[in-house]
Structures are given as C-alpha cells and as structure tokens.
Amino acid sequence: MSTRPRTRFFLLAATAAAALLAGCGAMPSMPFGSSAGSGSGSGTAAASGGTGSAASAAPADNSPALPTAVRTVSLSSDGLAGFFPFEGITTTATRADRRRDETSIKGTGTVSRFLLRDTGSATITRLDRKLVYGLDIPRAQYTECPLGGCPVPPAQEQPRQPQEPQSTREPGCTMRIAKNSFTVKPTSQRKAINGFDTEQYAVDWSVDFEDPNKRRSTLQLTVDVWAAAVTPAMREAMAVESAYNRAASAAMQRALAERASGLPPQLAETMTRYFAQSLTAADRAALLNASRQLERIRGEQILTQYKLFYRGDACGGAASDDGAGGGPAGLAGALQGLFGRSSGGSGGGGSGAGGETPLLSFTQEVKVWRVEPVRDSQFAPPPHFKRSNAP
C-alpha cells in the first residue's frame, strides 16, 4: 500500500486564512536536534546542536536520540486567484508509538508577508500515553487532550467556522457531468530532485458540466508530477510509518484516509463544498473518485504542482468584476468565502494552455524521507511551554 506524503497545503491555506482568512496547517520546522526545547531550528538536525540565540538560551538536551522516520516537505502557493500567496515547510517525525507533525508558514505577497509571519504549530500524538499535545510555538503554549480530543464545555462558545462558499448560481439549478476526462501520461523525462531519481508524469483532469439550458462550464486540474521509485532509505522510513499506522487507534485512522485519496484532502473538500449546491450526490462522488487515477503513477511523488482552472456559465451568468457569476471569478469568490474572505478581484479565464493564470495553484516537494536520530524531547511539550487548557 502506498504511503504518499499527505498534502497539507489547503490545511495551510486555511491556517493562513485564520490569520486573515481561516485555518488548517502550518511550517520552518521544529528542531529535531539538541535544541529541541526551543521551538525553532532545523527539522533534519537530528542529533546535532541548535543554532541561534534560542538554541544558546535553551538548556542542553541530553535526551536519547533514537531512530525515527523523518519526512520534510516544502509547500508554496500563488494563492487563490492571486490572493495571499505563501510558502512553508511541514515535518513529520514518526516512531511506532508516537508522531510529531509540525508546520510553519509565512506569507510571500505584499500583504500576506505582513499578516502571515512565520507562524508555527505542532501536534504530538503519543499512542503510548493515549494523549495528543497541540503546540502553539509563537506563544510557547500547549494543550493536552486524550486521543479522542478534549471535551468542549457546553457553555463554551464554539470557534467561528470557515464561511461556506455561497453559490452564485441560479436557485434550483442542478448541473450534470457531461464529460469527465482523466489522463495520466509518463513524459519520459527524468531528473534528480533532492537526491531522488525521479521521472515525470503529466496529469490532466477535465470535467464538463451542463445545466438544463445546455450551458456548460469546465473544471480543469493539471498536475505535474515527478515520482521516484522507493529507495532503501524511503522503505525503512515507510516501515516505521506503517508500524505507527497499525498501532493508531480508530480515531487516528481519519488522517490515514486522507493519504489514500488521490487529491489533497482540503482540495477535495473545497470542490465538494462548492459543487454541493449544484451537483447531485452521485455526480459529486464520481467527480472525486476519478482522482484516484493518480494512483496509476508509479513510485512516490517527490515534486508535485497542482493548477486549477474553472471557466463557463452553467447555472449562472458570466463572471463579473466583483466575483459574481458562474465563471472563474465566481468560483474564486466562493473559494475565498470558504477561507473566510469576501469575494473580490478577478480570476483566470480562457483555456488551461497558452499561459493562462490558474485560479488556484500550489506546489509540494519532498526534501527528506529517511530514518535518522531524533531526540525524545521532540515528542513532548518543551519544559518552558505553559499549558493553556485545564488539566
């Protein structure tokens, strides 16, 4: 069974959104070295000392450094229709009975670089203790919950949920899938990426929607994939990750389901929410099931770039400057609504070729995937962090 890296981009897009839009991810990696308690450092400095003032201020870490599967993935995005581009790193450290997922993200646009300044968070899952720790790195705080999650007091106000995308389509109008084309083709191109010997695959997924008035819209997702055959180092790391997966409780299996899906989970969720108002349940399921053809790619994805295009006027008028209508700007507005921002600005247009700007794009790249020593201290909150929820 493949253990493709979980794509956390839209989780990150939602976390970035929380700073201005709404939230779900994160990225520079936490230290996996002797500066473990500092909350900053290099995700691959497994047994070495930390650097910088944080490392010098932190007490020496003499905790054991034991073999751990480490996977580091860089992420970048041009944003939603150009809004709020960002970049970051995710690092996952796994042993048979514990896992640390850490993310850090920063904005790269004129506005987002001020609003999203090196945010960082980590989740530590301890199957041996039946506990989950949530680390808020900038605030030096953490929460402690059972594996199933902390109970929420009835009187406690629930956090604001991301705004559902509002359909700009005609009330009662339901589209059908008129055409669904999914191709995965090897290009015969090869190159070395971060020490991985990869080969390229070109993926094109185009879906034509038609409304009762025969108006059509087209959704197009192109994926540029560089995949590598499993190396001995990757196989060793995957064996550790599989041991953890087998030991995880039923509550933890939801994260594993994300990995089994062809599409990044938040991209699939975004599409489902938007089309929930204009497609039947059967067509929505067929739409997302088609993405499983990505499993035809041989090997593990090392470098992957997704580009999403949407154009047409099925069940609605043409796109307008304020983001209304059924075309690209209308979808942009709905997607921005999903991340907590009101619609505005223009999206792409035309066809997927010829230099069209995609409505949405992001890139993920595996930097490290191997077993290396990691300090035990990385699997517990740093001593100077304060617990923010009641014991």
Task: Identify the sign of the CA torsion 168, 170, 172, 173.
Answer: negative
Domain ranges of the chain: 9-154+368-387, 176-253+261-366
Contact 77, 9 (CB under 8 A): yes
Tokens standing for residue 204: 């094109």
- Per DSSP, the three-state class of 261 is coil
Q: How far apart are CA 208 and CA 216, in angstroms?
A: 7
Are residues 169 and 278 in contact, defined by beta-carbon separation less than 8 angstroms? yes
pTM of the complete model = 0.70
User: What does the alpha-carbon distance between residue 227 and residue 200 come to, in Å, rounded to a whole number?
Assistant: 6
3-state SS class at 254: helix
DSSP assignment letter at 66: E
Contact between 182 and 205 under an 8 Å Cβ cutoff? The reply is yes
Nearest to 374 by CA among 136, 55, 119, 100: 100
Mean pLDDT by 10 residues, the chain (391 residues): 40 33 30 37 39 53 95 88 82 96 84 68 94 93 89 59 50 82 93 97 91 88 95 97 84 50 58 66 72 81 91 65 41 42 34 66 94 97 93 75
Q: What is the pLDDT of residue 67?
A: 98
| Rounded-to-integer distance, Cα 1 and Cα 139, Å | 39
Number of residues written out for the chain: 391
Whole-angstrom Cα Rg for the chain: 22
